[in-house]
Amino acid sequence: MARTRLGRVTVAKQAEDARAAARVLSSATRAVKDAGLHAMADALVKAETAVLEANATDVARAEAAGTGAALIDRLRLNPDRVAAMADGLRALADLPDPVGDVVRGWTNPNGVEVRQVRVPFGVVGIIYEARPNVTADAAGICLKSGNAVLLRGSSSAADSNAAIVAALRDGLAAADLPADAVQLIPGPREVTGELMAARGLVDVLIPRGGAGLIETVVTQSQVPVIETGVGNCHLYVDATADHDIALGILLNAKVQRPSVCNSVETLLVHAEAADGFVPKALAALRDAGVTVHGDDRIARLGDGAVPVVPVTEDDFAEEYLSLDIAAAVVDSLDAALAHIRRYTTGHSETIVTDSQTAAQRFVTEVDAAAVLVNASSRFVDGGEFGFGAEIGISTQKLHARGPMGLPEMTSTKYVVTGQGQVRG
């Protein structure tokens, strides 16, 4: 691959520079990396005006293009969100360093010691859409876990990402760490293909975004991929559910921030709870501005007082990321489980119930990265889990599943120590 093309540095060159930076980070002490995180945070705060001006350009461009409100919300920054990015970097400095942790270890009968220890991946590529806060989160997590990162954001956030990365690189330089540990990959669409083809230079790719982006990366990448998933999350209200608890969880999971992947998209209500719960839920959702796409039984329980849009097959499969929700009445826990099995994206699934038996069945039989009992799916988040800023929520079953914090951004190596033993 050529070193330059049309005046820009190629992905191969950026990856080579990242590998050089990763070698420095792999042996950096926790104190050195934590100092880098604090310096990055300070630089980001110092650059707030530049970051917000760049973001305003991105937002104006998106609005002019008719981008939906949910995506605008993901794109938009304000002083509080910039401060939160900086706070996230500082919070990472307070967390334990995963590098060097002994996952397991033992001594064989011949006296040979075997230890499995955590080590950095090396160079991590992140391909993501819209949300510029991902830029700082990913950079911080990769630095703390000893990895260099190549960031390929979407064109919709190009100016924001460039301003954020410039600040982060200033912070790294101030901390005497290689600025190339954090790099933004600019350029036209084919650059994404170059990143996916950079096997041997990039150790792992992580896509964050919609179903189309994730599918493209998973199916086309030659670099190993950790798959993050979209969130068609379900809330099932069981026959024995406390209706006040269920209503509070429903509103929190749908309304607090509908544009994120852990918001609930489908409400399922047991037939025995429907008469008492559905009318209250419909009224509360209407008052919160939520459009309900419901089946015939949901509509009848609305009794015309609350508008219900007829639900379609596509609605049940939809990740709305907006103030919309699909809803249905189900005759049993078995029916709820069957519905979830059919439509789940394997992200987060919730049951509200007072039955230990129903809760245990739900936990056992639902196949998802996170299963919640009497708690909002909005808790499925690296920060809420105590991981600090997360790199994403993995819905795959290999290596990492669920919110990916620092340990999930490492691999392992075996360290074998002897005193001259040889194999007989």
Query: Would you say the C-alpha torsion 352, 356, 359, 361 has a positive or negative sign?
Result: negative
Asked whether residue 202 falls in the same domain as residue 327, the answer is: no
Provide the pLDDT for residue 119.
98
CB 394 within 8 A of CB 208: no
Asked whether residue 199 falls in the same domain as residue 276, the answer is: no
Asked whether residue 238 falls in the same domain as residue 203, the answer is: no
Digit-coded pLDDT (tens) for 305-356: 789 999 999 999 999 989 999 999 999 999 999 999 999 999 999 999 999 9
Residue 410 lies in a domain: no
Q: Which of 228, 245, 279 is the last residue of a domain?
A: 228
Asked whether residue 220 falls in the same domain as residue 76, the answer is: yes
Return the number of other C-beta atoms located less than 10 Å from residue 83's C-beta.
14
Asked whether residue 166 falls in the same domain as residue 243, the answer is: no
Residue 395 lies in a domain: no
Asked whether residue 207 falls in the same domain as residue 271, the answer is: no
Asked whether residue 237 falls in the same domain as residue 223, the answer is: no
- The CA distance from 54 to 38, in Å, is 23
Question: Which CATH number fits the domain that encloses residue 65?
Answer: 3.40.605.10
Q: Which of 196, 228, 260 is the last residue of a domain?
A: 228
Task: Give the DSSP letter string of 300-317.
Answer: HHHTTTS--EEP-HHHHT
Provide the pLDDT for residue 2.
37
Asked whether residue 61 falls in the same domain as residue 123, the answer is: yes
Residue 58 lies in a domain: yes
Q: Which of 228, 246, 264 is the last residue of a domain?
A: 228
Residue 406 lies in a domain: no
Q: 268: alpha, beta or left, given left = phi > 0 and alpha = psi -120 to 50?
A: beta
Question: What are phi and psi for residue 37, nearest 5 degrees?
Answer: -65, -45
Asked whether residue 304 falls in the same domain as residue 366, the answer is: yes
3-class state of residue 196 by DSSP: helix
Asked whether residue 24 falls in the same domain as residue 90, the answer is: yes
Asked whether residue 180 falls in the same domain as residue 222, the answer is: yes
Token code pair at residue 48: 């707030």
Spell out the alpha helix ranges (H) of 225-265.
243-255
Provide the pLDDT for residue 400.
86
Helix and strand totals (H; E) in the chain: 15, 18
Question: Which CATH number fits the domain that encloses residue 285?
Answer: 3.40.309.10
Residue 352 lies in a domain: yes
Q: 333 lies in which domain range?
A: 233-379
Asked whether residue 51 falls in the same domain as residue 16, the answer is: yes
pLDDT lower than 70: segments of the chain: 1-8, 388-389
**For the chain, what is the domain count?**
2
**Closest listed residue to residue 146, CA positions, set 123, 125, 169, 162:** 123
CB 148 within 8 A of CB 122: yes
